[in-house]
Chain A
């Protein structure tokens, strides 16, 4: 049984609206990547709609407020953010 820990996941804008919340504590096994976290988030918090699917697919990811690739491993206590296409300005 691998070690498990929690990461804090933050959602914004349309993704937070779809999930109904903007922050989730997600329990993952040691060695999990950002992709694994997102997959779990998808199952646990987001509706199975085309809108949700396309927004997640279009999102970039950040660990502790810095962009990272989805293949990066996460660590205990980190903040993982999904960054859907931005629209500031």
Chain B
């Protein structure tokens, strides 16, 4: 069950979609709106709300494809994904991913894979409305995500190594996504917070290159 909705995400209804008498585990991931984002500088930026927009037809198709792919990769029974569009207030959920399986570990793995893929591939965008600094559409730069997604598509690997400057441990689940080819650091405050000198993504690309060399 895949939904793009203007209404608050109903977690009970989301979990109902994956309920199954042969399943011994359900994993539910919720992505929530941070009011406060800590920057590398130590400064905290306050978000008033987020506004989400999607290329609806394409996003729905892609989310369905992701669910089908997850079911082929792991012995899971059901996948349900709800994503908000329009205005989402701090602490509300913008996305919910639910997975069920006979045993728990594959649900954890599949749910993580699904949310990582969603954040890198599905045509949905957020606009941050800051309390202090107006509003800005978020378009993450490559290498700005610390998840182990194998690749922001179309990454220019030669540039990726030089893409990032400032280091930070600041987590940014709101927006930590990379799907870009250009590497210019964004001016968005909490974009900078995500930049890491040698991202896990870069490392995995290096590892991938090494594997290819060995073959």
Binding site for B on A (CB under 8 A): 10, 12-14, 17, 50, 54-55, 57-58, 60, 62, 65-66, 81, 83-89
Of the listed stretches B6-14, B67-75, B98-106, B116-124, chain A binds B116-124
Binding site for A on B (CB under 8 A): 31, 52-55, 57-59, 61, 83, 94-95, 115, 118-127, 137-141, 152-154, 173, 175, 177-182, 184
A-B contact pairs, 26 of them (CB 8 A): A12-B53, A12-B123, A13-B53, A13-B127, A13-B137, A13-B139, A14-B125, A14-B139, A54-B184, A62-B55, A62-B123, A65-B58, A65-B61, A66-B58, A84-B180, A85-B152, A86-B119, A86-B122, A87-B138, A87-B139, A87-B175, A88-B54, A88-B122, A88-B125, A89-B31, A89-B124
The chain A residue with its CB closest to the CB of B178 is A85
CB proximity of B27 to chain A, nearest CB, Å: 16
Q: Return chain B residues, CB-CB under 8 Å to A89.
A: 31, 83, 94-95, 115, 118-119, 124, 173, 177
**A83 and B126 within 8 A (CB):** no
**B182 and A57 within 8 A (CB):** yes
Q: Which of A10, A50, A58, A65 contacts B139 (CB 8 A)?
A: A58
Q: Return chain B residues, CB-CB under 8 Å to A87.
A: 119, 124-126, 137-140, 175, 177
CB proximity of B46 to chain A, nearest CB, Å: 19
Q: Return chain A residues, CB-CB under 8 Å to B152.
A: 85
Q: Return chain B residues, CB-CB under 8 Å to A57.
A: 181-182
Distance of A38 Cα from B152 Cα, bound (Å): 21
Q: Return chain B residues, CB-CB under 8 Å to A17.
A: 137
Q: Which of B61, B124, B182 contacts A88 (CB 8 A)?
A: B124
**A84 and B118 within 8 A (CB):** no
Q: Return chain B residues, CB-CB under 8 Å to A84.
A: 125, 139, 180
CB proximity of B86 to chain A, nearest CB, Å: 13
Q: Return chain A residues, CB-CB under 8 Å to B141.
A: 58, 85
Distance of A89 Cα from B137 Cα, bound (Å): 14
**B121 and A86 within 8 A (CB):** yes
**A85 and B180 within 8 A (CB):** yes
Q: Return chain B residues, CB-CB under 8 Å to A12.
A: 53, 55, 123, 125
Q: Return chain A residues, CB-CB under 8 Å to B53.
A: 12-13
**A10 and B55 within 8 A (CB):** yes
**With A65-B61, A66-B58 as contacts: A83 and B139 at CB distance below 8 Å:** no
**With A60-B154, A65-B58 as contacts: A86 and B177 at CB distance below 8 Å:** yes
